[in-house]
């Protein structure tokens, strides 16, 4: 029976915190399972969102610093 991966497990996989053997199994599973691939992409999108958020905050802070330097 095929076991699906949890979000937590996929997170470990993505961050390279999985053992080599588990990683091989996971990447093989992702190659055949649409459900887990969708979940995996979801994690990547969340990451992108957080990265964009961080960039906006940095831009804002940078702007603020420029304002006070005047």
Which residues of this chain interact with Zn ion, rule CB under 5 A? 4, 33, 35-36
Question: Among all chains, which residue has been given the structure tokens 């420029």?
Answer: 66
Cα distances (angstroms) measured from residue 42 to each of 1, 14, 24, 37: 24, 12, 20, 8
Least Å from the CB of residue 39 to Zn ion: 8
Least Å from the CB of residue 33 to Zn ion: 3
Least Å from the CB of residue 11 to Zn ion: 15
- Return the number of the residue (16 or 31) whose C-beta is nearest Zn ion: 31
């Amino acid at each position: 029976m095929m076991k699906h991966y949890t979000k937590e497990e996929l997170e470990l996989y993505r961050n390279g915190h999985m053992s080599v053997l588990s990683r091989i199994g996971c990447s093989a599973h992702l190659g055949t399972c649409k459900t887990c691939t969708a979940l995996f992409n979801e994690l990547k999108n969340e990451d992108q969102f957080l990265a964009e958020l961080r960039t906006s905050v940095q831009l804002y802070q940078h702007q603020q610093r420029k304002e006070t330097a005047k």
